[in-house]
Structure 1
Amino acid sequence: MARRIALRVLRAVPDGPGIRRLVLADPDGWPLPRWRPGAHIDLHLPNGLVRAYSLCGDPAEPRAWTVAVKREADSRGGSAWLHEALAEGDALEASAPRCTFPLAAEAVRHVFIAGGIGVTPFLPMALTLLRAGGDFRLHLLHRGPPPLADALAPLVAAGRAVLHDTEAAPRPALAELIGPPGQGVQAYACGPENLLDGFAEATADWLEGTAQVEHFHPPILPPDPDARPFTLVLARTGDEVALPAGADLVAAIRALGGAVDTSCEGGICGACRVRWLEGAPIHRDRVLRPAERATDLIACVAACAGGRLVLDL
């Protein structure tokens, strides 16, 4: 299992409709692990739940991590606990930061499309680009007062962010906000599924890899018609088990004594990333790039198209 990092809640304050901003630090004030814009952490809650949240503070600040939690109406206990039970001064554990939604290093212009609380990963991206003199524009679609207004204010004043209140006016066409594809242009989107669907449609003719998304919630995955029975082998111990088609790979790994973390359990967070050594994995995640799939898989949604899958566990 990955190491958990002990934290203390420095501040817990409202920061928009139904949103609570948490500032987390080492209990003794030591610097925290560094992170890249677009990274997220898993919060391990006392009720046993694990929830992923984008880091939305300043990547140059070494002694604090900031996340913003929206209180979900249909909360399964995660956002409700973070809003109602967690208090300033309380202890909390988190994973090390993981970045599955990075800034494209080769891009010369960045276009960010955010839906509501989906603005969080773009705030540290904007800070980083401002310091580097990078070219970017952030479009935030929201209903009523925007989330994290104080953090957005200087970006709006500088003409780098545009707020679109869809309660006051119809939602603008995403294709117009994004603009045309071009050499060195990278588009990003984070928000609810209807926004991501519209973004995918608007960027359908863009070159592969030049338009990327981050999901709030894992998409529903139908049964995989290519899945078949296979033998799972853990290379470090030699333990193996025969699995039926469609078996839960994470459960099988754990049954053999292998250690694997989970969070989203839907292929969008990367917590259960595992190196594979032999076989023909079926990749159904939204995290790994094509080159990464040559060596790694996301266990919570992976399967096997061959008869044998060997993992580096």
Structure 2
Amino acid sequence: MTAVRIITVKTVVDRIEDGGAGIKLFTLVDPDRWELPPFKPGAHIDLHLANGMIRTYSLCNDPADKTRYVFAVKREADGRGGSIHLHDDVRPGDVIGVSLPRGGMQLPLHLSRLTFVAGGIGVTPFLSAAAQLRRLGRDTFTLHMITRGPPPLADLLAPLIESGHVVIHDTAVAGRPDIAALIGPAATDGGIGCCGPESMIGDFEQTAQDWSAEHVHVERFVAPPLPVDPQARPYTLVLARSGRDIAVGPGESMLQALTALDVDVPTSCCGGICGACKVGWLEGEPVHRDRALSPAERTRSLLVCVAGSASDRLVLDL
């Protein structure tokens, strides 16, 4: 079996708190209370759970809080089992291996006005961003929290509501607000972000078309379906380190081809939004279909769960 080398950090569950209806807030620390690897606002970590699952969550604490990783988990009864395991089986004192944090939001100083739109549990990455912005004295931001009934993580939102940085939109009372009215017209000195249900993100992306891509940040917790490519054709994967050649058939994913031949690649979302299956590529012309890698990252990496190849031969750093 060929395996991707995975770097994980050993952490211990320090606290598990109630985050609202069906939500738990987890705090991880180093076993000896050393500092953890740094992260950007709203960065992701992969949890390598005891049952073999790998699940990805956004950090919601201040990046200056270097001794903790805090994340929220909504229990999804019809999900893939990760949230149920965390809610039902994980206890304080349990050991969890986590990946190095990746991704997160860029909050450049030249953006004088920031507007975030969050739906439900999608508020988590913006809590991290808000904590950093307030600590640095950058108070010109607004977080629009769209929820049905009481908002999740009410204790974390309370000081932001009191300071006027969070506006609650209860759809049970007035329906969902107009996204365009919330973010306003495109601005060279503004930045916008969204995380929530796919329908909300779709409206947001439609509204954000006039904005510079560098000023728009979108987080997804459900991968959108990958459209069928009628032009798909076979190609060969070459694993540079092991010297293996792997044939990938039309319509077959790179991940399926690798897994069928016992090449062990870590996966979580399997839809190109989390980045857990990032692999380096060395030669060829990959087709990037993910929503996680930056343009710079795509020059050297791809996500095997959704990537394809425009060339007959694609060499991976495996």
Q: TM-score when scaled to structure 2?
A: 0.92
- Mapping 1:121-140, distance limit 5 Å: 121-134=125-138, 135-140=140-145
Name which of 68, 73, 76 aligns with 1:64.
68
Quote the Cα distance in structure 2 between the aligned partners of 1:5 and 1:59. Answer: 17
| 3-state DSSP of counterpart to 1:209 | helix
**For the residues of structure 2 that align with 1:91 and 1:65, how far apart are their CA atoms?**
13
* Among 109, 113, 132, the residue aligned to 2:113: 109
Deviation at 1:116, TM superposition (A): 0.5
Deviation at 1:65, TM superposition (A): 0.8
Match of 2:276 among 268, 271, 278: 271
User: How many angstroms does 1:189 deviate by?
Assistant: 0.3
Alpha carbons 1:118, 1:191 under 8 Å: kept: yes
Cα distance in 1 for residues equivalent to 2:297 and 2:81: 33
State the shift of 1:162 in Å: 0.8
Number of equivalenced pairs? 312
Cα deviation code 1:35-88 (max 9, x no counterpart): 111201111222222111111112111211111000113132111111111112
2:225 pairs with 220, 227, 249, which one? 220
SS in 1 for 2:205: helix
Equivalent of residue 307 in structure 2, options 281, 302, 305: 302
Query: Residue 186 of structure 1: CA displacement?
Result: 1.2
Cα distance between partner residues in 1 of 2:80 and 2:247? 34
1:18 and 2:22 matched: yes
Q: Distance in 2 between matches of 1:46 and 1:250?
A: 23
| 2:160 equivalent among 115, 139, 155 | 155
In 2, Cα distance between equivalents of 1:208 and 1:27: 40
Return the match for 2:7 from 3, 6, 26: 3
- Secondary structure (helix, strand or coil) at the match of 1:227 reads coil
Q: Indicate the residue corresponding to 1:91 in structure 2.
A: 95
Distance in 1, matches of 2:63 and 2:24, equals: 20
Other-structure match for 2:192: 187
TM-score, with length taken from structure 1: 0.94
- 5+ residue gaps, structure 1: none
Secondary structure of the structure 2 residue equivalent to 1:61: coil
Distance 1:45 1:33 in 2: 19
Among residues 70, 82, 86, which one is paired with 1:82 in the alignment? 86
Judge conservation of contact 1:262–1:271 (CA < 8 Å) in 2.
yes
Cα separation, 1, equivalents of 2:213 and 2:119: 23
Find runs of 4+ consecutive structure 1 residues off by over 6 angstroms.
none
Residue 37 of structure 2, aligned match among 21, 33, 37: 33
Tell me how far apart the structure 1 counterparts of residues 263 and 80 of structure 2 sit (CA, whole Å). 28
| CA deviation profile, 1:209-265 (whole Å, cap 9, x unmatched) | 322211111111132233211111112232212221233313434566755322111
CA–CA distance in 2 between the matches of 1:180 and 1:31? 41
Could you tell me whether the CA contact under 8 Å between 2:28 and 2:70 is conserved in 1?
A: yes
Rounded to whole Å, the distance in 2 between the matches of 1:237 and 1:277 is 14
